[in-house]
């Protein structure tokens, strides 16, 4: 029971065999992405006649790649059989790497999460040891999962910073040699490996099973420690020439003289991001502001999670004030992008999505003020639905869609 034979396209196969293979691919893709379906529907969808589709569905059943899920109800007439992908036929692996933790998820062929390990303790550092440790964690997860490696179609690893997914290069982390990072990891985990920018993977998660319904043009704002963006355009991920699209945080907007992580000054990220929030709160506390957080003797030790909990659990006024300011700044910048992109949907995601109640209103107000009316009317706002699972889920869908040649 393996579909790999469908995807070794050796050179000298005759045209007719190629067409059969392609149609089979189409059927597998349709059943994986679109879910269960009947022969008459698949016939319409693919443009091939019912006997042809029937024959191939028979072969796929024989091969164990799909299952017959029995007759389904209709409004009238003989009831058709519904066929769907065998959940056990293949799997997708998603890995989200943050500064302090790794989250790994395994998805079955029918897009169900079969295993997820959240927040495995890990320290992301830009050295070989850290990379080796990451591979060890992934290998341990796969071994524990009891899914044979050859059934795992591929793994997608999400990292922050500049990622060229097409070539497999990461420039901000683990750029030690001329070989693509994806190949280095691939040889260590023995599973086809892709790498992806974290914001983009989160975006793809929300797009496939999050808040995105039918929207084709979407901006996903990832406010976590840094500030990133993922873009859905023409109904698919937008990469740009080399995959550096969405570098949202480093717009030169402020004269604040604060040095950004990118090396420049006055970036949007210095005013709108997790670390900006932490810095601002600490500054205010040091200059005597009171807050739920004031009870901390050591101001230095305060971290974002504590600030978020102060907002969510205690409606901390100081933090809410800072968040509202941040929302206004974000909204003003988003207004420009909205004018350029004319999106249908803007999603607030990332760690700070937890406090989006306080961000969203100022964002929307600023956006309304600074963007063109007609363009602004098209935009809806939503908060991420998948939360901190968006990354892994998205990564699994990226593997799936790369496998099917859609990305």
- Rounded Cα distance between 179 and 118, Å, is 30
Contact map string, positions 355 to 394, toward DNA, x by CB under 7 A: ----------------------------------------
Binder of residue 234, out of its own copies, DNA, none (CB less than 5 to 8 A by kind): its own copies
Smallest distance from DNA to CB 43, Å: 8
Binder of residue 245, out of DNA, its own copies, none (CB less than 5 to 8 A by kind): its own copies
Cβ nearer to its own copies, comparing 281 with 366: 366
Query: Which residues, at least 6 apart from 337, have a Cβ–Cβ distance to it below 8 Å?
Result: 219
Does 22 contact DNA by CB under 7 A? no
Task: From 19-27, 116-124, 196-204, 242-250, give the range in contact with DNA by CB under 7 A.
Answer: 19-27
Does 15 contact DNA by CB under 7 A? yes
Smallest distance from its own copies to CB 30, Å: 18
Which parts of 139-198 interact with DNA (CB under 7 A)? none
Query: How many CB atoms are closer than 10 A to CB 58?
Result: 11
Contacting residue, 1, 4, 19, 314, with DNA by CB under 7 A:
19
Binder of residue 54, out of DNA, its own copies, none (CB less than 5 to 8 A by kind): DNA
Cβ nearer to its own copies, comparing 223 with 292: 223
Cβ nearer to its own copies, comparing 337 with 399: 337
- Rounded Cα distance between 200 and 187, Å, is 24
Smallest distance from its own copies to CB 94, Å: 24
Binder of residue 375, out of DNA, its own copies, none (CB less than 5 to 8 A by kind): its own copies
Dihedrals φ, ψ of 210, to 5°? -120, -135
- Rounded Cα distance between 237 and 202, Å, is 11
Strand ranges for 203-251 from DSSP E: 218-223, 227-233, 236-237
Cβ nearer to its own copies, comparing 233 with 289: 233
Q: Which of 1, 394, 13, 7 is nearest to 204 (CA)?
A: 394
Contacting positions for its own copies (CB under 8 A): 15, 18-19, 47, 49, 162, 171, 215-217, 229, 231, 233-234, 236, 238-248, 250-253, 262, 264, 332, 335-337, 339-344, 369-372, 374-375, 378
Binder of residue 171, out of its own copies, DNA, none (CB less than 5 to 8 A by kind): its own copies
Alpha helices by DSSP H, listed for 122-197, are 128-145, 181-189
Cβ nearer to DNA, comparing 38 with 360: 38
Are 291 and 306 within 8 A, CB to CB?
A: no
Binder of residue 361, out of its own copies, DNA, none (CB less than 5 to 8 A by kind): none
Smallest distance from its own copies to CB 249, Å: 9
Binder of residue 238, out of DNA, its own copies, none (CB less than 5 to 8 A by kind): its own copies
- Rounded Cα distance between 216 and 85, Å, is 26
Beta bridge partners of 83: 37, 68
Residue given tokens 């990220």 in the structure block:
269
Sheet containing 193-197: which strands, arranged edge to edge? Answer: 113-121, 101-108, 91-97, 152-159, 193-197
Cβ nearer to its own copies, comparing 203 with 291: 203
Helix (H) or strand (E) holding 93, with range, is strand 91-97
Binder of residue 91, out of its own copies, DNA, none (CB less than 5 to 8 A by kind): none
Which parts of 291-350 interact with DNA (CB under 7 A)? none
Residue count, binding to DNA (CB under 7 A):
29
Structural Rg of the chain based on CA atoms: 24
Sheet containing 81-85: which strands, arranged edge to edge? Answer: 37-38, 81-85, 66-71
CA–chain centroid gap for 141, Å, is 20
Which DSSP symbol is given to 35?
-
Beta bridge partners of 93: 106, 155
Cβ nearer to DNA, comparing 40 with 64: 40
- Rounded Cα distance between 120 and 103, Å, is 6
**What is the rounded (10 degree) CA torsion for 14, 18, 20, 22?**
180
Smallest distance from its own copies to CB 54, Å: 15
Sheet containing 345-349: which strands, arranged edge to edge? Answer: 236-237, 227-233, 218-223, 345-349, 380-383
CA–chain centroid gap for 388, Å, is 10
Contact map string, positions 41 to 80, toward DNA, x by CB under 7 A: x-----xxxxxx-xx---------------x-xxxxxxxx
Binding site for DNA (CB under 7 A): 14-17, 19-20, 23, 38-41, 47-52, 54-55, 71, 73-81
């Amino acid at each position: 029971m393996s579909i790999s034979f469908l995807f070794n396209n050796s050179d000298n196969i005759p045209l007719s065999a190629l067409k059969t293979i392609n149609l089979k691919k189409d059927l597998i893709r349709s059943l994986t992405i679109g879910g269960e379906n009947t022969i008459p529907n698949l016939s319409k969808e693919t443009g091939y006649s019912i006997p042809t589709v029937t024959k191939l569905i028979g072969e796929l059943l024989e091969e164990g790649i799909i299952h017959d899920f029995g007759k389904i109800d209709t409004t009238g007439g003989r009831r058709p059989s519904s066929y769907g992908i065998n959940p056990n036929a293949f799997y997708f692996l998603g890995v989200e790497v943050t500064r302090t933790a790794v989250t790994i998820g395994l998805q079955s062929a029918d897009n169900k999460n079969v295993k997820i390990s959240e927040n495995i303790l890990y320290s992301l550092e830009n050295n070989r040891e850290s990379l080796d440790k990451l591979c060890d964690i992934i290998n341990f997860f796969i071994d524990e999962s009891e899914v044979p490696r050859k059934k795992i179609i591929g793994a997608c690893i999400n990292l922050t910073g500049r990622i060229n997914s097409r070539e497999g290069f990461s420039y901000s982390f683990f750029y030690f040699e001329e070989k693509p990072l994806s190949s280095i990891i691939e040889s260590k985990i023995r599973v086809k490996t892709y790498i992806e920018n974290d914001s983009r993977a989160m975006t793809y998660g929300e797009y496939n099973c999050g808040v995105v319904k039918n929207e084709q043009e979407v901006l996903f704002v990832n406010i976590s420690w840094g500030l990133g963006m993922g873009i859905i355009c023409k109904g698919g991920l937008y990469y740009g020439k080399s995959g550096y699209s969405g570098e949202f945080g480093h717009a030169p907007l402020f004269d604040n003289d604060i040095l950004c992580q990118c090396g420049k000054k006055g970036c949007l990220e210095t005013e709108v991001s997790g670390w900006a929030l932490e810095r601002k709160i600490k500054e205010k506390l040091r200059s005597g502001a009171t807050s739920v957080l004031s009870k901390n003797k050591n101001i230095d030790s305060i971290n974002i999670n504590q600030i978020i909990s102060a907002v969510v659990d205690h409606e901390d006024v100081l933090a809410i004030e800072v968040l509202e300011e941040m929302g206004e700044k974000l909204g003003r910048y988003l207004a420009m992008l909205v004018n350029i992109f004319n999106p249908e949907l803007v999603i607030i995601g990332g760690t700070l999505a937890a406090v989006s109640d306080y961000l969203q209103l100022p964002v929307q107000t600023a956006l309304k003020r600074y963007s063109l009316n007609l363009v602004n009317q098209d935009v809806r706002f939503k908060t991420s639905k998948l939360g901190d699972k968006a990354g892994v889920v998205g990564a699994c869908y990226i593997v799936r869609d790369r496998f099917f040649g859609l990305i």
